[in-house]
Structure 1
Amino acid sequence: MTREDFIVATALILFASFVLGWFSCWLVGRLTRPGRAEFARHNQLTADLHAAENARDQAITEGKEREAALHERLAFATSELTQSRAALAEASVEIEELRDYIDRNLGKPV
């Protein structure tokens, strides 16, 4: 085998391996390429995902609104409780004053 025959044989082998590699890549791409049905399914999944994200955001917003309303009600109830305690303390002081008055004025024998 001469030098030129060796170069030609090597070039043919390299070209054949390139063509075989390109063909196998093309074949694998054709066999594994998603079809139109899968694209439609992906579009549906994308739409469902966006709807779920919007529902989640809306639920978070509603939860925050409810939490704010509950904090407001709690603050109102706390203020009412404070006012009731103050009124109860005043009533207790008034009761003690009335007891002292009764003991002083009516507790004496007539």
Structure 2
Amino acid sequence: MNRTEFITVTSIILFAAFLLGWFACWLIHRLTRPTRADMGELDRMAQQLHEAEEARDLAIAALEERESALMTRLIDAEGELQAALEGLRESRTEVEELRDYIERKLARR
């Protein structure tokens, strides 16, 4: 076998390998291609996912709104508590002053 025959045989073998690889790729692509039923199922799943995301977004918005309302109520309740505690302190001070006054009046008798 001379050099020219070797190059020719090698070229034919490489071309045959290329054709075999191309055919195998085409065959695999043809066999693994999704069917119309699969595409319909994927479309249905995508629609369900979209609806679930919308429901999640609505739930998050409702949660944030509820949290905001509760925080407002909490702030109002804390304000009322501070006002009540301040009133209680003032009442205690007044009661102590009245006791001192009564004790001084009773002590003079």
CA deviation digits over 1:67-94, x for unaligned, max 9? 2111111110111011101111111122
* 1:77 corresponding residue in structure 2: 77
CA–CA distance in structure 1, aligned partners of residues 52 and 95 of structure 2? 62
- The within-5 A match list for 1:27-66 is 27-66=27-66
Taking only the aligned residue pairs, the percentage that are identical comes to 50
- Normalised TM-score (structure 2): 0.81
RMSD between aligned residues: 2.1
Match of 1:34, SS state, is coil
Q: Distance in 1 between matches of 2:90 and 2:2?
A: 121
Amino acid at match of 1:10: T
Q: Which residue of 1 aligns with 2:99?
A: 99
Taking the aligned partners of 1:2 and 1:99, their CA distance within structure 2 comes to: 129
Structure 1 unpaired stretches of 5+: none
Gaps of 5+ in 2: none
Instruction: Check 1:107–1:17 CA distance in 2 against 1; reply closer, same or farther (3 A cut).
Output: same
Q: Deviations over 1:28-70 (max 9, x none)?
A: 1111111111111111121122122222222222222122111
Runs of 4+, deviation exceeding 6 Å: none
Decide which moves more: 54-63 or 10-19. 10-19
**Alignment coverage as a number of residue pairs:** 109
